[in-house]
A and B are shown apart, each in its own frame.
Chain A
């Protein structure tokens, strides 16, 4: 804000104000996405996990909507709408119903306990900040600072989603890990100015998840194993090599 105040009055002030506003708000949303990823890592109940995931989808929708406004790219509103309707409502509700029907709401089985997972998460965020800020140091200038830092946050969300997938045993929480990973990708794609095909890519992802996960797998797994614990799949493998 000091930057803005130091400037003379008139249109220059407005421009500086709005530039810094764009930056700050986009930053706020991207940072919030990373924070929510940590919240997800911390959850040990499936319902709570679903709620936090829905929250992340809402923040993603806001972030994408803000980018649409700032970049004047109306097609991004479609992506925001997909995130809001599909990821913040349809998928969490469908998964919640499934969790209820399967009676697995009590706990999330973790491979590694929460403490070390959180530490690993912090290390991953540090890693992605170092890698991205260093690699993008020469690209663009001050104008692209937004894209650069968005990218660092996006990579953090991707890696935290990955971490979630490997530290959870339950098929439902693995799917949530994957979808939060994909939230990071959408953040990166919308942060890259004028990137084409963002809508198509988010649709492709939604189709992938909807078709495979909801439509087929969880029910089939349930049908065959009476559980969605991936451990049961491993146990089944037994003597096959």
Chain B
């Protein structure tokens, strides 16, 4: 089999090799370019997956569910690397980072990308667990990159909560193996997805239920679901902005992917407890909590970190609701959220650089002082708040309608949460975008292209979804059960 017909191993190998290379390159300029090139290559390979056969080997699996995640992940990683190249140069000029920091940063970026791709493509739940742990480790190190008190505190909190989450997830994974072992026998078979999914009907339901609770709590910590979200706002606000974009847009999705895999395992067994109510409760809890917390934020990156909690809540609710329509809406919302949120973080990164602060009170009147940046941010916030004609509006509309059809009372809570968050975002936006500009009128040095591409995709999706994409998402939604 040629490599082109099976790009999956390369998708993991390219970032791994680039990480080694980037750790050795002393020049930050060359490093930044190489980083973009490596991410671009990974994205191109991910596109090849679309045409590749759906195969489940002993190590890697390619199925319709993980292709959606891999393509989205590598795309956002590519655009973020592009954004980061310009952003990082500015951080170097202002002295917040040193060239040695950057070498470390670029190598870690590739390790993170490789680990996330491995987590998505792995056919072995143990390997997936190790990959997610490696991804956590790299982000912990990157969150602490600025070495300020706040950054260290954020990284410490993230490390502690993230490790507990990952430990609970491992306990759940061990339980799943113990459930599988009497049925599929000892050894590697009990950890392989494609085998587990086929034999799921013969598993013991009681222990599988307990396992799912641990897995949901464990990986749910990384998704940022309330009440396990405490690490998220700090980690997002204290790390370099490209990392905030990658955390919000990608790492949360990877953790969610793990939850979805196990959910489909439960869905394949008729005798287990429905995973829905748990996920819906955590989802609504996150949505409401984040909605109210949004009003009191004084730091622009924390504001959008809470917005990520809100949206992960909506997505978890949609998948918890289950059924073809809600699953479809969840997938679409996840895609739209990744694209929009990373675009917003790109804009926020520029805004913080030109104003020299992250404080909301000191970032005002952006549309006057930096029209292009200001209006892009307005477009991004309008999209994330769920106003038409953005793709987020489409997906939120679908979540709400499917909720009203299945659980009207829960739908009311959902709508309350959505409106609360909407109000908060609008209040904050009017200050940031309009009014008397605050001091700081330096021109934006980095590229607008990544932000523009993301926003264009989000608004295009709101107006027109290609039928191929719809058919695909429908198929995945059916698999998820």
Contacts and interface: CB of A to CB of B under 8 A. Distances in A.
A binds B: yes
Interface of A: 131-132, 134-140, 144, 147, 151, 154-155, 158, 162, 165, 171, 174, 178, 181-182, 184-185, 188-189, 192-197, 200-201, 204, 207-208, 211-212, 216-217, 220-221, 224-225, 230, 233, 236-237, 240-241
B182 A196 contact: no
Contacts of B198: none
B50 interface: no
B415 interface: no
A121 to B, nearest CB: 17
List the 8 closest A-B pairs by CB distance, nearest first: A194-B186, A197-B126, A233-B153, A135-B210, A196-B188, A135-B206, A139-B204, A188-B174
24 contacts: A131-B210, A135-B206, A138-B204, A138-B207, A139-B182, A151-B175, A158-B167, A178-B163, A178-B164, A178-B167, A185-B167, A185-B174, A189-B174, A194-B186, A194-B187, A195-B174, A196-B124, A197-B124, A197-B130, A197-B191, A204-B130, A204-B134, A208-B137, A220-B144
A172 B175 CA distance: 30
B120 to A, nearest CB: 18
A154 B170 CA distance: 12
Contacts of A192: 174, 177-178, 181
Contacts of B129: 201
B37 interface: no
B130 A212 contact: no
B199 interface: no
A230 to B, nearest CB: 7
Main SS class of interface, B: helix
Given A178-B163, A196-B191, A158 B210 contact: no
Contacts, number: 130
Contact of B181 (A189, A193, A212, A217): A193
A135 B204 CA distance: 9
A162 B163 CA distance: 11
A221 B182 contact: no
A197 B189 CA distance: 12
B182 A162 contact: no
A197 B188 CA distance: 8
Contacts of B144: 216-217, 220
A195 B190 contact: yes
A148 to B, nearest CB: 9
- Most central of B149, B178, B190 by chain A CB within 10 Å: B178
Contacts of B181: 192-195
Interface residues on B, range: 35 or more
Contacts of A196: 124, 126, 187-188, 190-191
Interface string B142-162: 001001011011011001100
A171 B149 contact: no
Nearest to B207: A135
Nearest to A213: B159
A182 B167 contact: yes
A30 to B, nearest CB: 14
Contacts of A131: 210
A189 B190 CA distance: 13
Nearest to A71: B186
Contact of B160 (A158, A178, A236): A178
A171 to B, nearest CB: 7
Contacts of B167: 158, 178, 181-182, 185
B171 A188 contact: yes
Given A195-B190, A233-B156, 10 more contacts: A154-B171, A181-B167, A182-B167, A196-B187, A201-B129, A217-B155, A220-B147, A225-B149, A233-B149, A241-B296
Contact of A135 (B156, B182, B209): B209
